[in-house]
Structure 1
Amino acid sequence: MAIGAVRRTAVLLAGVLGLSATASGCSLMSSGSSGSPSLEHPTLRVGYEAQVDVAPLYKAVNSGLFADAGLRIELQQEPSDADAIKALSDGKLDVAFATHVSLFKAAGAGTQLQLQGEAYQAGANTMALVSLPSLGYDDPSQKPSPRIAVNAPDDLGVLTTKSVLDTAGVAQNKIQFKTVPFATMADALQNREVDAAWMVEPFITKAQKALGATIVTDAARGATLDFPISGYASLKKFADGNPNTMSTFRKVLAQAQQQASDRLQVQTVLKDYAGVDAATADLISVGSFPTTLNAVRLQRVADMMQTSQMLANRLDVQSMMPPNEQRG
């Protein structure tokens, strides 16, 4: 999911390194049988984008949850999924955040990835086709060849837009997609360059507040109801060489995801990194934050991608799971 942001690295917290042994002779960084295994790579460079999806990650870093486990996290803001995955391949990131569609496209193209966590799952109006009253587009079946802004070509926006408009009786090959960054979609609507824009939060609420924008259709309905949106991945080679580090990352992330079940915590932390004020944050629609990697759930995304010809062949998501992760 792309945003027009300049990459910036923010080292938010120092890790807890070299902890002294406790009276029982164990610590978070010891390798004794009674303690946690030592971390091969106690500093991780993790990419993120200023969206609701990463609220648990951001809060966990900021509150010291990762540091308490001996893991130092350096957050790097990425302008797009493509940039994040490239930074991963170039060795500039250890863990990348991206839509599952972007990650699976990369895997289908030959990049050896290992999934490290699910970030976000769609809820009501967390992704939607948004228009303006002046454009006269208030029903998904209203235009036989709608012009739709999406943040990236052949990504989540294209996949889910095709699904919901197909259900409404619009031929998929008649949809005209235009790539527009989230940050300038409102301008594209005002300039009548598109009939609607596929948006996620907080951009939906911002457009509603600033322009009186309306939702043509929720993009998480029918075949895309409760759709898995985004997650975290590392290169398989890096994960294989740092199993204790990545296991610790997954465990802390799961704790953070669990804490994000409190909607108020999510809305509060959005003010710190997503460029929204308190009043806007309070109105944002929030989906769910899975606490486990679920290959069955994610296979749904890969299979829809193959059906939509985003993947030439069927991708076995289970093959991208960390060792010992369950299928369901």
Structure 2
Amino acid sequence: MKVIGPAFALVALLFASTGCGLFQSADSPQPPPPERTTLRVGVATPIDTAPLRIAAASGKFREAGLNVELVDLGTDDGVAKLTSGRVDVTFASDVSLFRAAAAGTALQLQGEAYTSGDNTIALVTLPGSDYREPTSKKSPKIAVDRTDDVGALTARSVLATAGVDPAKVRLQASPFSQMPEVLQSGGADAAVMVEPFITQAEKELGAQILADGSSGATLDFPASGYAATGAFAAANPRTLAAFRRVLTQAQLAAADPATVRDALPSFSDIDATTAALISLGSYPTTLSATRLQRVADLMHSSGQIPNRLDVQAMLPVENQP
């Protein structure tokens, strides 16, 4: 009698258990490709968008079948470019995204970009200022980049926590780059700055931090994110799912601060010395309705939006309960 060897027996067992599946696997249907291969993504603040920029430059999106074209927003309104069709996905502050949603713009969030950390946003004064404590002025003049964005929300929240009546805080709009001049001229008592402007003002002018903007109700506050219109999201779910997968991996890589600090000089005017000194926040790897609802609720309680916004409804299907 012929004896069947153990190796042959194993092969026979595999065939018996899988049938012809070993040969059929090559013919099994592949997942459908993205609806489109090119995605125009609006980007702004280099620190907030660092992971996305690094991933695009290193070809991570191309590996996922996407040609991501980065569109520098500059001072333009990302939501306006998004709704006009000039970009497919846009970066924006969470405050501006939720303000647009509250006004009726259908948006689907694609990822959180950046969360504030210690002194990544702060009320700043210059040496010699008579504004030394948040409560030393009952009606302080505060320079913010926009009177309806995250700087204004942060200023009122931090000062209110310190004991200042937020209704008496006087806000005035000024570009970050001009805030030192506004402070020097006495046009404002303090300015709400973000990095790298905080570090630059400290190095060049001896600026001082009056109050950390990431404190109290705005501690570890969600700062910015990425969104598409509801219509674009409905028409391109696979494209955006691929975008989110790569973004998640990019945000994971940015957990190492050195990754961000080393890359910043390559796509911004932040020099290596400043990049090494700036305070960095964190780069979320998940879309959290609970975390983002903090922003919408603070906007509502402070009067920036008239009704409470349901952030959960703005998340992609896989993030729905």
Q: Does 1:78 align with 2:70?
A: no
1:231 equivalent to 2:225? Answer yes
- Distance, in Å, in 2 between the alignment partners of 1:210 and 1:50 is 21
Cα distance in 2 between the residues matched to 1:127 and 1:271: 20
Q: Deviations over 1:188-217 (max 9, x none)?
A: 112221111111111111111111111100
2:38 alignment partner in structure 1: 43
Q: Deviations over 1:200-254 (max 9, x none)?
A: 1111111111111111000110111111110000101001100000000001000
Displacement after TM superposition at 1:128 (Å)? 0.5
Query: Is this contact kept in 1: 2:313–2:320, CA < 8 A?
Result: no
SS in 1 for 2:54: helix
**Shift in Å, 1:145:** 1.1
Of Structure 1 and Structure 2, which has the larger fraction of its residues in helix? Answer: 2
Count of residues in correspondence between the two structures: 297
Matched, 1:67 2:74: no
Residue 193 of structure 2 is matched in structure 1 by 199
Is residue 111 of structure 1 aligned with residue 102 of structure 2? no
Return the letter of the residue paired with 1:234. A
Q: Which residue of 2 aligns with 1:222?
A: 216
Deviates more, 1:110-119 or 1:153-162: 153-162
Q: Which residue number in structure 1 is paired with residue 19 of structure 2? A: none
Q: 1:53 aligns with which of 35, 48, 51?
A: 48
Does the CA-based 8 Å contact 1:51-1:201 persist in structure 2?
Answer: no
Correspondence for 1:8: none
Partner-residue secondary structure (3-state), 2:128:
helix
Could you tell me whether the CA contact under 8 Å between 1:51 and 1:202 is conserved in 2?
Answer: no
Letter of the structure 1 residue corresponding to residue 272 of structure 2: A
Larger Rg: 2
The equivalent of 2:121 in structure 1 is 127
User: In structure 2, what is the Cα distance between the partners aligned to 1:326 and 1:172?
Assistant: 35
User: Partners of 1:247 and 1:113 in 2: how far apart?
Assistant: 15
1:36 deviates by 4.3
Give the distance between the partners of 1:200 and 1:37, measured in 2 at CA.
42
Question: Does 2:139 align with 1:142?
Answer: no
Letter matched to residue 133 of structure 1: P
The alpha carbon displacement at 1:173 in A equals: 1.1
Which 5+ residue runs of structure 1 have no aligned equivalent?
Answer: 1-23, 27-31
Cα deviation, 1:111-136, whole Å, max 9, x if unaligned, reads 10000000011110011011101222
Contact 1:50 1:274 in 2 (8 A): no
Q: Which residue of 1 aligns with 2:318?
A: 324
Tell me which amino acid in the other structure corresponds to 1:130.
V
Q: In 2, are the aligned partners of 1:135 and 1:192 still within 8 Å (CA)?
A: no
TM-score (norm 2): 0.89
Unaligned runs of 5+ in 2: 1-24
The 5 Å alignment of 1:263-302 reads 263-302=257-296
Instruction: Report how far residue 169 of structure 1 moved.
Output: 1.1
Residue 105 of structure 1: SS of its match in structure 2? helix
Q: Is the 8 A contact 1:294 1:326 kept in 2?
A: no
Distance 1:163 1:194 in 2: 18
Q: TM-score, normalised by structure 1?
A: 0.88
Contact residue 138 and residue 215 of structure 1 kept, 8 A: no
- Is 1:165 aligned to residue 159 of structure 2? yes
CA change 1:84–1:25 in 2 (3 A) is farther
In the TM superposition, what is the alpha-carbon distance from 1:326 to its structure 2 partner?
Answer: 4.8
Q: Which stretch shifts more, 267-276 or 69-78?
A: 267-276
Q: CA deviation at 1:276?
A: 1.0
Residue 17 (structure 2) aligns with? none
d(CA) in 2 for partners of 1:230, 1:122: 9
CA distance in 1, matches of 2:140, 2:105: 34
After the TM superposition, list the runs of 4 or more consecutive aligned residues in structure 1 that deviate by more than 6 angstroms: none
| Pairwise CA RMSD | 1.4
**2: CA distance between counterparts of 1:215 and 1:42?**
46
8 Å CA contact retained: 1:43, 1:71: yes
Q: Which amino acid aligns with 2:131?
A: Y
Task: Calculate percent identity across the aligned residue pairs.
Answer: 52
Q: In 2, Cα distance between the equivalents of 1:201 and 1:211?
A: 15
| 1:151 matches 2:145 | yes
Q: CA deviation at 1:25?
A: 5.5
Question: In structure 1, what residue type is equivalent to 2:33?
Answer: S
